[in-house]
Chain A
Amino acid sequence: MTAAVSIRGVTKRFGTDVTAVDNVTLDIVDGEFFSLLGPSGCGKTTMLRMIAGLEFPTEGSIQIFGEELALRPPNKRPVNTVFQSYALFPHMNVEKNVAFGLEMRKVDKAVIKEQVADAIEAVHLKGMEKRKPSQLSGGQQQRVALARALVNRPKVLLLDEPLGALDLKLRQAMQIELKDIQSEVGITFIYVTHDQEEALTMSNRIGVMNFGNLLQVGTPEEIYERPVNRFVADFIGETNFIDGTVADDGRIRIAGGALVYARGDAPAGADVTLTLRPEKIWIHSRGAADLDPERNQLPGKITRRLYYGESIYYEIELEDGTLVDARHENIPSLQRRDVGDEVTITFHRQAAEALVS
């Protein structure tokens, strides 16, 4: 595993009081689809811009395939960017836009022509060469931006929320297409997004950021199943938080006194927060005889029901008053519950993660 991009202790401060990126260390593997995920203002775009050379780090080192270039201007880096607003040159047609990078590098004219034609064909825009960006739809502009970057065969492609401006259907189609293109060209993609679903479906690995800090790096599954803290658990997907304390036997004593099993390595006596995804909770009628003793059991009462079509959300009030959401697939074999039903919820011993609070 070669590191395509190696970021060491990178900090970016704007002025004296704004720290956009705070001491981030990260290795991005050659050929992977890596997403930087976080809410707006978390520093992910600043991080991307530092890799692109559009901002320079205040401290730290950025290497691309072993070459130090933290302070190198953007035109001298083997990376290209797909900008959030596409940033297509409005005074140039599609062909000129795509050829721009090659022309700046003084590539032979015949070669430019051939490679530009190939790139335009690769993004299915053949026949649109002479159009100006303003004559293209959002999706088409997106493709031009992609072709304009990829035609330069960068070692790393940077994408700053490239699908943010597209409507849902188009976005989903482009997600698949982007993924296909990435596996075709084999270039490392660094993808900045605030859309957790997009990050989960497209990435090999995700780095979650907040307030300039890199909180967790892992595969989509690791991020979703084993979040390292409350922010990551909350930002990605939906979850329930239940406060508790680690008991002497390693179980977690939650408010109301019940003891449950959870993953995590907090020492006895530590205050923890359990994170428990709604889809991992099963609902049983109170007193049902067939409960699996290996699953945690908590009594409660249905206080709300939300019908989503493909699923149904139940809000359950536990005995101590804690509210927990549970999601049930809308399949006939699962019994429907009504508000007011006395129930027992169960979840697997490995389903809840105990986060040190």
Chain B
Amino acid sequence: MTMLDERPSEEANPELERKAERAESWRGFFTALPTYLYLVVFFVLPLIIITVISFAERSRTGKPVLGEWTLDWWIKLGDPLVRSVVFRSVWLAFLNTLLSLLLGYPFAYWIATRKSALMRNFLLVLVLIPFWSNFLVRTYAWRTLLDSNGLVTKVGEMTGLWGKMLFTEPAVFLGLLYGYLPFMVLPLYAAIEHLDWNLVEAARDLYADARKAFIKVTLPLSKPGIIAGSILVFIPSLGAYVTPDLLGGSKTTLLGNYIVTQFKSGRNWPFGAALSVTILAIMMVATIIYFRKGGKTL
């Protein structure tokens, strides 16, 4: 900026320009205001409350006693039992994300490369159909399938490959995979569908065979979809409550159920709060790492 620029001229009226700019920024603020308010009231505030509660002593009924502070609940996170729950949850969420990716990628690729738009839309609708009925109902359906007389169990017994899975970890895993696979397929589809196929052709033209072209071009360019899909599967898997509650047994407690237990039969709100903050932290760290790895493509 030189002095010359700041001198008022006949063409530009700096006062008017500044006014217009200010009006513009106010307009933006008002547009975003409802969302801001909503997020503050229903997200930031509860988060603060939960964090505060996690440092409070508890009464005999399990309610937090504000005013008496302790670090006990945070120390309790180190208990072997708690650690195993956290570990199992993260492991299952990770496994579920990985398998969703391995199953979802070829599927999304296949849909995205159908020539007819009608066919693509039809296949996408198929992916979305499960959402037309309630998640709870669908999980109960799995319960029927996986029970002693269920279809899945019968097939397993007939082939001798597996037995009754209900109330075991594999049942929870199946339920999670079923529940969140569409969240992997949709962003992958979007990414692959937007791919510039000229680039794949260019790779083929430059001596890459089909496999190399996929690894060097298709895969890196669908990374935004992989990242979005992974986050969309990992986070709800980590906090899953309904699936492990209905399909898992007492030995397969996951973080979601464990937290609910603390607030209900466990009568320990502050500890439940500490667990909730922990799960949030894990999700945030995992997401940040993932975004970092994704580089600037997002």
Give the B-binding residues of A (Cβ under 8 A).
52-54, 73-76, 79-81, 83, 85, 87-91, 100-101, 104-105, 148-149, 152
Contacts and interface: CB of A to CB of B under 8 A. Distances in A.
Given A87-B198, A89-B199, A52 B205 contact: yes
Given A83-B198, A83-B201, A85-B198, A73 B209 contact: yes
Contacts of B221: 90-91
Contacts of A89: 199, 202-203, 216-217
B21 interface: no
Given A75-B204, A100-B203, A152-B207, 20 more contacts: A52-B205, A53-B204, A54-B204, A73-B209, A74-B205, A75-B206, A75-B208, A80-B205, A81-B202, A83-B201, A87-B196, A87-B198, A87-B199, A87-B202, A89-B216, A100-B208, A101-B206, A101-B207, A148-B206, A149-B206
Contacts of B208: 75, 100, 104
Contacts of A54: 201, 204-205
B25 interface: no
Interface in B196-226: 196, 198-199, 201-209, 212, 216-217, 220-221
A104 B205 contact: no
Nearest to B295: A91
Contacts of B220: 91
Closest 3 pairs (CB-CB, A-B): A101-B206, A87-B202, A104-B207
A88 B21 CA distance: 39
**Which of B198, B202, B205 has its CB near the most chain A CB atoms (within 10 A)?**
B205
B201 A75 contact: no
Interface of B: 196, 198-199, 201-209, 212, 216-217, 220-221, 297
A81 B205 CA distance: 7
A100 B206 contact: yes
A357 B62 CA distance: 99
**Which of A54, A74, A76 has its CB near the most chain B CB atoms (within 10 A)?**
A74
A88 B203 CA distance: 9
Contacts of A83: 198, 201-202
Contacts of B204: 53-54, 73-75
A149 to B, nearest CB: 8
A73 B196 CA distance: 20
A114 to B, nearest CB: 18
Nearest to A132: B296
A152 B297 contact: no
A104 B212 contact: yes
A104 B206 CA distance: 7
A152 B217 CA distance: 19
A73 B209 CA distance: 8
Given A87-B196, A91-B221, A80 B201 contact: no
A266 to B, nearest CB: 45
A86 B199 CA distance: 9
B199 A75 contact: no
